[in-house]
Amino acid sequence: MKIKDMNVDRRKLLKASGAGLLGAMTPAQILMGQTAGADKKYIFNICAFGGANIIDSFLAQPTGPAAYNNIVQPNGSAFKTVPPLQNSIQGAIPLGNGYDQAVFVQKHGVDMAVMTCEVSSVNHIIAARRAMSGDNINGGRTIAEAVAMAFGKSCPLPNLMLAGGGYALHGDDVTVPESAKAQAVTDPLMFAFATHGFKGVSNIVSSGDMQAARQLRQQLESVSRFQQQYAGSKVLDAYQSNRDRIVDALEKGDMATKLMMLDPATNNLAQYGFTLSADINTVRAKFPNMATDPFEARLALAFLAAKNGLSNAISVGPSNSPLVTAQGSPNAPIAFDWSHVDHRGAQNSMWSYILKGMDGLIDLLKATDVDGDPSKGKMWDRSLIYIATEFGRDKVATGGSGHHLNNGVVMISPMLQGNKVFGGIDAATGLGYGFDTATGAPATGTVMKEKHHYSAIAQAMGIPFENRINMGAMVKKP
Amino acid sequence: MKKFISLLILSILVIQCSSNRLRRPSGGNASAPGTGSIDENGNPIGAEDAKGSVNGSTAVNMPQAGRTLIWKRYRPLETGLMAGLGLTKDQLCTELGTNPCIDKVHLTVLGGNEPFLNGQYERAQTPTVLTAVAVDRVVLSSCGKRVELDRTAGAAAQIFKFFPLTAAKPSDDQVKQQATELYHRLLAREPEAAELDAIVKFAASSTAGDKIALSLCFAIGSSAENIFL
């Protein structure tokens, strides 16, 4: 089939995948946004709700309006870090997990890039959406949708959404197929049940009986007046085609077992015919509190979904509820947005909370072969973590803080030029300035926008699109 | 006089233009028809006609009987199964016997949202790729519960009463009666002759009354006709 026969114009083709690879791609690949000969790559969007302020972590300042007096800069690192502070929720509940930002930098700083930015909204929903869509630089396609389309061809549910708010919204690009849109997860611990249509439901019917019952359903639908009346309905077609495609893929892939994370000691798994994921001890070692901590449970599911080929573009956010135990709470109420009440306490505890989770996830990705095949290398070699956040916070050292456009974002990936800060902070104001996207040289008087984050991620992962900004300074050459 | 007539004509034209503007759809559904937008029920704005093409008239944003499909989200699905199968809410699907399928485990894919723990402020606009899996589990569980209750009730069975649930094979007439009962209860209509033929053929290849009962209930209850209005 020739491209010109497919009733798509050049603009759509460019939007779908980018000009650079068109010559090597089939029309079907182009329409799906898949890069030629694309292997699987993974993106993990960590949705740091509430404004993860970069000058309270890797660009902390020793002077100025938001100065810290205890900054640590690990040897050879481009990044500064702030040690865990003695935080509390209103003086009553100890706050924080004690994880040191410096530990993260020492372990993963070599793959980490920090870029400053000045975003375009201080509204949570709008800003989060723009953090995911690059302020619509790619025709409204979110970065998760773009990665799902480019590298998730083999995944039944490429775009898995374990976050909320504006991060979870679909993009504006109406050409994104249903299969690449974010699939929201209600409860990560129970998600395995959502991947099988009948396992553990009835002991009357066997797998063969169910297949026969589904065939009967199909026969009844095909002769019904309802089906004839609504023949050609997009919503009906989508429902029925998804049903056929996804049910088959998930059940045959036994995702109900591969993703099962419930503790058999407190759940009757065996009674209902379920067994625990074979990787449960691996994920428990990194996320020991996943039975009670939704963020750990989401990270565990994110890893299992990627490892088992279910998804390749996964977004994870922390819970907005504090997990209060006898020892205190590791996370702040309403996450980073607790900064309104206690800026330092919220920022310090939430950075530790997020980074500890990232540390565990990266360790797992570094230890795991792609598709279980050692010849394909480790998952980490093909992964990018984007700590997305809506905006920054007021540049303050005490009290509460409001939302602020000026901030920076963190990306971690072997596909990036690691151990580098792109842009800089004006010590007098605490405000970030930009950089030359081709050379990486700091450029005072400029600021980077959401479209630069998006372009950097897309370029690092090898996703071309029409309006992509050349962020060559941030990306490792293939 | 000429001036008066001219002014009159001009006034009429202005009024017509204004009333045409007022007739246009407004609010959240104000997008142009056929732009790919979707209304809150998951139907494309610019309602589809029977052939799936998008009607371009200005009045198409309102659901139209017989032309617009509306997704039955979690609550209508739940109440429909409760009423149709004579079950109470606590008799509907639970995972591992304790976790409610509709209100908790599969809430999102059945069209709900969990705003507090998950920050899910928006519901899915259309059935997601996982909706059908959840529908299968919820309907199969509900049907299984009814089969179990009616088996225990014996002669007092409420719904699966047209053949013994332990018999080797019911007659064609019994199967048709049972299927008709299920169509009445779940889809509120008479079955078509072609549907009954398919069901009789299916039952002939099965071996046990309870399996036939459960399969009929599942096939009818999880058919697309019970997912959309």
Task: Among A220, A233, A267, select the one facing B198 at the smallest CB separation.
Answer: A220
Q: How many CB atoms lie within 10 A of CB B112?
A: 18
Question: Which residue in A287, A330, A300 sits closest to A95, CA to CA?
Answer: A330
b/e A81-114 (16+ beta carbons within 10 angstroms → b): bbebbebbbeeeebbbbebbbbebbebbbebbbb
The answer to whether A223 touches B195, Cβ cutoff 8 Å, is yes
Closest-CA distance, B20 to chain A, in angstroms, reads: 29
Strands A403-404 and A383-389: unpaired
Task: Among A187, A197, A213, select the one facing B215 at the smallest CB separation.
Answer: A213
Residue A10 dihedral angles phi and psi, to the nearest 5°: -60, -40
Contact between B194 and A231 using a beta-carbon 8 Å cutoff: no
**What six digits make up the tokens of A414?**
């072997």
pLDDT at A103: 98
B33 contacts in A (CB within 8 Å)? none
Contact between B69 and A236 using a beta-carbon 8 Å cutoff: yes
pLDDT at B22: 35
Tell me the average pLDDT across A389-400.
98
**What six digits make up the tokens of A240?**
């029925």
Please state, in angstroms and rounded to a whole number, the distance separating the CA atoms of residues A318 and A325: 17
Q: How confident is the model at residue A203 (pLDDT cuts 50, 70, 90)?
A: confident
b/e A374-409 (16+ beta carbons within 10 angstroms → b): eeeeebbebbbbbbbbbbbbbbbbeebbebbbbbbb
pLDDT at B9: 56
pLDDT at B40: 46
Mean pLDDT, chain B, rounded, equals: 81
> Is a pLDDT exceeding 90 seen at residue A20?
no
Mark which residues 47-106 of A lie under 8 Å from B by CB: 49
Q: How much is the ipTM here?
A: 0.88
**What six digits make up the tokens of A460?**
């690092």
Q: How confident is the model at residue B167 (pLDDT cuts 50, 70, 90)?
A: low
Tell me the average pLDDT across A221-236.
95
> Is a pLDDT exceeding 60 seen at residue B150?
yes
pLDDT at A28: 41
pLDDT at A247: 85
Mark which residues 384-413 of A lie under 8 Å from B by CB: none
B146, burial (CB in 10 Å: exposed 0-12, middle 13-18, buried 19+): buried
**What six digits make up the tokens of A434?**
């930009």
**What six digits make up the tokens of B229?**
């209005």
> Is a pLDDT exceeding 80 seen at residue B30?
no
Question: Which residue in B53, B29, B27, B51 sits closest to B40, CA to CA?
Answer: B29
Please state, in angstroms and rounded to a whole number, the distance separating the CA atoms of residues A396 and A344: 9
Question: Which residue in A189, A72, A377 sits closest to B99, CA to CA?
Answer: A189
Question: Which residue in B148, B4, B119, B41 sits closest to A184, CA to CA?
Answer: B119
Using one digit for the tens of pLDDT, what is the confidence trace for A406-448?
Answer: 999 999 999 999 999 999 999 999 999 999 999 999 999 999 9
Closest-CA distance, A172 to chain B, in angstroms, reads: 10
Using one digit for the tens of pLDDT, what is the confidence trace for A151-199?
Answer: 999 999 999 999 999 999 999 999 999 899 999 999 999 999 999 999 9
A327, burial (CB in 10 Å: exposed 0-12, middle 13-18, buried 19+): exposed
Mark which residues 314-333 of A lie under 8 Å from B by CB: 317, 319-321
> Is a pLDDT exceeding 70 seen at residue B24?
no
Mean pLDDT, chain A, rounded, equals: 92
Distances (CA, A) of A191 to A188, A292, B106: 5, 15, 8
Please state, in angstroms and rounded to a whole number, the distance separating the CA atoms of residues B120 and B106: 14
pLDDT at A161: 97
Tell me the average pLDDT across B186-193.
98
Contact between B95 and A220 using a beta-carbon 8 Å cutoff: no
Cα separation of the two ends of chain A:
31
pLDDT at B211: 95
> Is a pLDDT exceeding 60 seen at residue A275?
yes
Q: Does A205 touch chain B (CB under 8 A)?
A: yes
Interface probe for B, chosen from A132, A183, A196, A201 (most Cβ of B below 10 Å), is A201
Residue A277 dihedral angles phi and psi, to the nearest 5°: -55, 140
Please state, in angstroms and rounded to a whole number, the distance separating the CA atoms of residues B229 and B222: 13
Please state, in angstroms and rounded to a whole number, the distance separating the CA atoms of residues A217 and B215: 9
Closest residue of chain B to A211, computed from CA coordinates = B215
Residue type (1 letter), A305 = A
Q: How many CB atoms lie within 10 A of CB A290?
A: 23
Please state, in angstroms and rounded to a whole number, the distance separating the CA atoms of residues A357 and A364: 11
The crossing angle, in degrees rounded to 10, of helices B193-204 and B172-182 is 130
Percent of chain A with pLDDT over 70: 92
Task: Among A204, A225, A243, select the one facing B211 at the smallest CB separation.
Answer: A204
The answer to whether A175 touches A12, Cβ cutoff 8 Å, is yes
Using one digit for the tens of pLDDT, what is the confidence trace for B32-74?
Answer: 333 344 454 445 444 444 334 434 344 446 767 777 899 999 9
Residue type (1 letter), A438 = A
Please state, in angstroms and rounded to a whole number, the distance separating the CA atoms of residues A267 and A259: 15
Kindly calculate the radius of gyration of chain B based on its CA atoms and give it in whole angstroms. 25
Q: Does A298 touch chain B (CB under 8 A)?
A: no
Residue type (1 letter), A389 = T
Closest-CA distance, A113 to chain B, in angstroms, reads: 28
Using one digit for the tens of pLDDT, what is the confidence trace for A82-111?
Answer: 999 999 999 999 999 999 999 999 999 999
The answer to whether A436 touches A422, Cβ cutoff 8 Å, is no
Q: What is the 3 state secondary structure string of A34-89?
A: CCCCCCCCEEEEEEECCCCCHHHCCCCCCCCCCCCCCCECCCCCCCCECCCCCEEE
Tell me the average pLDDT across B150-157.
95
Tell me the average pLDDT across A35-48.
81
Q: Does A214 touch chain B (CB under 8 A)?
A: yes
Interface probe for A, chosen from B48, B118, B189 (most Cβ of A below 10 Å), is B118
A157 contacts in B (CB within 8 Å)? 129-130
Question: Which residue in A308, A475, A338, A354 sits closest to A58, CA to CA?
Answer: A354
**What six digits make up the tokens of A310?**
């279910």
pLDDT at A431: 98
Question: Which residue in A145, A176, A178 sits closest to A159, CA to CA?
Answer: A145
pLDDT at B3: 55
Strands A313-316 and A431-435: unpaired
Alpha carbon of residue A99 to chain centroid: 21
Percent of chain B with pLDDT over 90: 63
Tell me the average pLDDT across A325-334.
95
Give SS3 for A169: coil
Look at phi and psi of residue B210 and say left if phi exceeds 0, alpha if psi is from -120 to 50, else beta.
Answer: alpha
Closest-CA distance, A126 to chain B, in angstroms, reads: 13
Tell me the average pLDDT across A331-335.
97
Q: How confident is the model at residue B207 (pLDDT cuts 50, 70, 90)?
A: confident
Q: How confident is the model at residue A204 (pLDDT cuts 50, 70, 90)?
A: confident
Please state, in angstroms and rounded to a whole number, the distance separating the CA atoms of residues B34 and B49: 12
pLDDT at B66: 72
Please state, in angstroms and rounded to a whole number, the distance separating the CA atoms of residues A138 and A173: 8
> Is a pLDDT exceeding 70 seen at residue A385?
yes
> Is a pLDDT exceeding 80 seen at residue B1?
no
pLDDT at A74: 97
**What six digits make up the tokens of A257?**
């077992």
The answer to whether A401 touches A394, Cβ cutoff 8 Å, is yes
Tell me the average pLDDT across A248-260.
95
